[in-house]
Chains A and B, each alone.
Chain A
Amino acid sequence: MSTSRTSKASQTSPASRKALVALSDISKYYGNVKALDGVSLEVHAGEITCVLGDNGAGKSTLIKIVAGLHQHDGGTFAIEGEETRLGSPREALDRGIATVYQDLAVVPLMPVWRNFFLGSEIHKGRGPLRRLDVEEMRTTTHRELLRMGIDLRDVDQPIGTLSGGQRQCVAIARAVHFGAKVLILDEPTAALGVKQSGVVLKYVAAARDAGLGVVLITHNPHHAYLVGDRFVLLKRGAMAGSHAKDGIALEELTRQMAGGSELEQLSHELARTPAPDLSGGVAKG
């Protein structure tokens, strides 16, 4: 996997490339509440940009701006060098930005192939006989999933019968197939076990190798470090750091992510708690 990646990266030298998506100094207010302040982020083709942060750090606000659900209040948002303001998720999709939400990705009771083509169905025939090209869609779904490394024998099964990881993968494969240039993944591994997470991360890497710019939102630094090329840390709506992979080690990333100095203080406080007192209290009661 790594060989194909380096070959891809060497095709275009970093200096000549324009960022697919570039946010600079973005801010966003909900009424008087400042949700984002001065956040910058760049997404390049064939790279994975990880956005890390605790709950409430502004991760979801940030992706909602890129996905077209919200508009930013300050700063600039450029797609391939052109400054824009997205009005709807449909507009974002048309500009090549696809978002895979953790829980909103698929319709569980519908067959895999119907989910894959939902909203972008293929037709054949004319006039009143215009109809869905079921065979074409079934084979395409099968082929595209296979290309991502998912060998699903029966694409007619309800997608709800797949595992959580597989469902995320179908959503990713769908975004790749429909020509997304930028793929935003909202906590794709949050609800998954270790093995399932590994599978999903592999498909994230596969999407990167297909030349997409990937934004991976996560609060797990270990997952981020496995696949990420650059890391943006958010804390209470502001930038807490932006690093390239060779500029930061996993331990440092984990430490910053976990709250850095706050965590050290917490560990001191916890360490001083006198344990024997507690058990004594229980025995008396």
Chain B
Amino acid sequence: MSAEAPPAEETIASPRPVRGSLPRRLVGRPELGAVVGAVAVFVFFSVVADAFLQWSSFSTVLYASSTIGIMAVPVALLMIGGEFDLSTGVLVTSSALISSMFSYQMTANVWVGVGVSLLATLAIGFFNGYLLVRTNLPSFIITLGTFLILQGCNLGFTKLISDTVSTKSISDMEGFPSARKVFASHLTIGDVEVQITVLWWFALIALATWILLRTRAGNWIFAVGGAKEAARAVGVPVERTKIGLYLGVALAAWISGQHLLFNYDVVQSGEGVGNELLYIIAAVIGGCLLTGGYGSAVGAAVGAFIFGMTNKGIVYAQWGADWFKFFLGAMLLLATLLNWWVRKRAEESK
């Protein structure tokens, strides 16, 4: 008791707060498990697949990582905020379909379609968020609903409008070359060919990390995911924060969707189903808690990188692609266990 002396100015021991030692701070980071996992996967495929260590392979791996990573980053933020989104996979396809079909049907400049698609995708994100804060139903149920609705709309509207399951080619339309440059081009840096999605991905990681760690909104995201009622009691606008997170997911789905469209010119309306789980898996491997309140954008990006390495590494090792899901599942379990173990150790050492 005497150590905790009565409040008095004399008890000042250390005038400034100190940071914990470096190893302890590292152990406290949510991305640690993912980084260790990424190194292990990298070493593994470097040993078993000779082609894995070439620059061109690296570029392919980065591209595969970025297609998942662009979505995994905002999905991680959403999970830190305590919610799920199961509609993300098909939302990407919806976004691509809307811009393609709008431009084609209206014979407008493709940029008009791209703009309409942005508004429509954000509206769907807003719908998810608004329904969630209005009804207080679990986000799992609400977004499962929008997942099925969107999946049906994607197929139904595409068949209704184009009479096939895919959209018409828009490559000869006005604005296509410039839009392709923005969403589906590549540039060469040294020996590495870098797809532009990788740049989008890095930009999103930087933006999300900035928001999470250096803005008030980030503080609120952690708070609404960690303890919603406590956050509300100190004046955090819980509703606005959650809707904002869904809008962020929608924005990334739009970027992803435009890449899909301008990379392949035609969009298959049945695509995207199942991808929502890949995004969640990347976020969880990256240290996000399913219960919310903990995680990082960088971790989710590393999770996506693990996905890319595994996906392509299996091809370079010349195993059947059938083994990919097996590896992904094993990675998910191992990374989650590692995260759990590290966190437990970190808490005990305090």
Among A108, A151, A195, contact of B226 (Cβ-Cβ < 8 Å): A108
Q: Which of B170-178, B214-222, B256-264 contacts A (4 or more CB under 8 A)?
A: B214-222
Q: Inside 8 A of A90's CB, which chain B residues have their CB?
A: 235
CB-CB contacts of B287-312 with A at 8 A, as 1s and 0s? 00100011000000000000000000
Q: How many residues of A contact B (CB 8 A)?
A: 50
CB-CB contacts of B65-107 with A at 8 A, as 1s and 0s? 0000000000000000000000000000000000000000000
Complexed CA–CA distance, A151 and B230 (Å)? 24
Near B by CB (< 8 A), chain A positions 12-55 give none
Among B16, B229, B230, contact of A142 (Cβ-Cβ < 8 Å): B16
Complexed CA–CA distance, A118 and B226 (Å)? 12
Q: Please judge, given known A-B contacts A89-B235, A118-B231, whether A209 and B17 are in contact too, CB under 8 Å.
A: no
Q: Inside 8 A of A198's CB, which chain B residues have their CB?
A: 1
Near A by CB (< 8 A), chain B positions 224-283 give 226-227, 229-236
A161 near B350: Cβ-Cβ < 8 Å: yes
Q: Inside 8 A of B14's CB, which chain A residues have their CB?
A: 142, 151, 153
Which of A93, A109, A156 counts the most chain B CB atoms within 10 A?
A: A109
A154 near B17: Cβ-Cβ < 8 Å: yes
Q: Inside 8 A of A156's CB, which chain B residues have their CB?
A: 17, 19-20, 25, 28
**Interface assignment of B7: CB less than 8 Å from any CB of chain A:** yes
CB-CB contacts of B15-45 with A at 8 A, as 1s and 0s? 1111110000100100000000000000000
B214 near A138: Cβ-Cβ < 8 Å: no
**Interface assignment of B11: CB less than 8 Å from any CB of chain A:** yes
Near B by CB (< 8 A), chain A positions 179-237 give 195, 198-199, 202-203, 206, 209
A209 near B7: Cβ-Cβ < 8 Å: yes
Complexed CA–CA distance, A57 and B149 (Å)? 50
Q: With CB as the reference atom, state the residue of chain B lying closest to A131.
A: B214
B208 shortest CB reach to chain A, Å: 14
**Interface assignment of A120: CB less than 8 Å from any CB of chain B:** yes
B22 shortest CB reach to chain A, Å: 13
Complexed CA–CA distance, A90 and B237 (Å)? 11
A206 near B7: Cβ-Cβ < 8 Å: yes
Q: Please judge, given known A-B contacts A132-B216, A156-B20, A161-B347, whether A149 and B231 are in contact too, CB under 8 Å.
A: no
**Interface assignment of B223: CB less than 8 Å from any CB of chain A:** yes
CB-CB contacts of A88-120 with B at 8 A, as 1s and 0s? 011001000001010011111110011001111
Q: Inside 8 A of B18's CB, which chain A residues have their CB?
A: 153-154
Q: Inside 8 A of A93's CB, which chain B residues have their CB?
A: 234-235
A202 near B230: Cβ-Cβ < 8 Å: no
A138 near B219: Cβ-Cβ < 8 Å: no
Q: With CB as the reference atom, state the residue of chain B lying closest to A210.
A: B7
Complexed CA–CA distance, A202 and B293 (Å)? 31
A203 near B230: Cβ-Cβ < 8 Å: no
A251 shortest CB reach to chain B, Å: 26
**Interface assignment of B5: CB less than 8 Å from any CB of chain A:** yes
Q: Inside 8 A of A63's CB, which chain B residues have their CB?
A: none
Q: Inside 8 A of A110's CB, which chain B residues have their CB?
A: 219, 222-223, 226, 293
Among all A-B residue pairs, the 8 with the closest Cβ atoms: A142-B17, A119-B234, A107-B226, A119-B235, A149-B7, A206-B7, A107-B227, A131-B214
A-B contact pairs, 13 of them (CB 8 A): A99-B233, A104-B233, A105-B230, A107-B222, A107-B226, A107-B293, A108-B227, A109-B293, A118-B234, A141-B17, A149-B6, A149-B11, A161-B350
